[in-house]
Amino acid sequence: MSTSVDFWDYLGTRHEQLLTDAYQHASAVFQCMVVATVLGVLIGVLTYRSGWAGNVATTVTSTVLTVPSLAMIGLLIPVVGLGVAPTVVALTLYGLLPIVRNAIVGLRGVDPTLVDAAKGIGMSRAARLFRVELPIAWPPILTGIRVSTQMLMGIAAIAAYASGPGLGNVIFRGIGSLGSRNALNQVLAGTLGIVVLALLFDAAYVLIGRLTIPRGIRV
């Protein structure tokens, strides 16, 4: 007879708490992704036309990514305190890299003759950007957003270290009480929750891609 409580029983008794954690996890990732997307595309738009500025943006954002997430949150606590703030800052920073990089690559990849044609038929700078360059660069940008989201799903779990929200709390509780009745179930439930969330987000992105990528450039 096993000492550990059956996993399904555990889920049955704790599902409310788990759902709240999952919701907070998803919500944190979603909100940070929105901010990271806006910032990332903005940085891409501001830098893609200059060789060095684009490279600086890519290098800086990829340097951020080399900082271990635990260390990043640790470093942020003295600056922004505990709780939601360090989570949001860290997630947004990490989320930037793939978006900035793909935005720059995507915008630079727009066929220069198309930009020439857009200018030639009298489109203003803004019209060129919003009606030609960004729509054509959108598929790689969306890929960047997808990659970012997957990455943030995992990183968000670390947020619990700084008393942040999300499924990380469940996992940390499990790790903190290893050997106890529910330890393994907690780690397992948290991890599975994150995987399920990641899959749900990914499905959402596939749908968004279907809805927002014009048929003319869909692969």
Partner 1 sequence: MSEPTAPGAAASGATIELENLTKRYPGSPEPAVDSVSMEIGAGETVIFVGPSGCGKSTTLKMINRLIEPTGGRIRINGEDVTDIDPVKLRRKVGYAIQSSGLFPHMTVAQNIALVPKMIGWGKARIRSRVEEMLDLVGLDPGEFHDRYPRQLSGGQQQRVGVARALAADPPVLLMDEPFGAVDPITRDHLQDELIRLQSELHKTIVFVTHDFDEAIKLGDRIAVLRERSHIAQFDTPEAILTNPADDFVSGFVGAGAALKRLNLTRVRDVEIADVPTVTVDDPLQDIFDKLRGGTTNELLLLDKRGRPYKWLRRGDLMRARGSLARAGTLVHDTVTRDATLRDALEAVLTDNAGRVAVTGRRGEYTGVVDMETLLNSVHEMLEADRLDAIEHQHDLEEQRAQLTHQEQEGAGPGPGGPGGAARA
In this chain, which of 5, 38, 114, 204 binds partner 1, going by CB under 8 A? Answer: 114
User: Per residue, what are the HEC states of 2-41?
Assistant: CCCCCHHHHHHHHHHHHHHHHHHHHHHHHHHHHHHHHHHH
Our CB check for partner 1 shows the closer of 50 and 177 to be 50
3-state secondary structure of 165: coil
* Least Cβ distance, residue 103 to partner 1 (angstroms): 16
CA dist., res. 153 & res. 148, Å (int): 9
211 belongs to the binding site for partner 1 (CB under 8 A): no
136 belongs to the binding site for partner 1 (CB under 8 A): yes
Our CB check for partner 1 shows the closer of 131 and 210 to be 131
* Least Cβ distance, residue 133 to partner 1 (angstroms): 10
In this chain, which of 74, 83, 135, 209 binds partner 1, going by CB under 8 A? Answer: 135
Count of C-beta atoms within a 10 Å radius of residue 129:
17
String of contacts with partner 1 for each residue 8-27, x by CB under 8 A: --------------------
In this chain, which of 12, 78, 122, 179 binds partner 1, going by CB under 8 A? Answer: 122
Give alpha helix (H) positions in the chain: 7-47, 51-66, 69-80, 84-108, 112-120, 125-127, 134-158, 168-176, 183-212
Interacting residues with partner 1 (CB under 8 A):
111, 113-114, 116-124, 127, 131-132, 135-136, 214-217
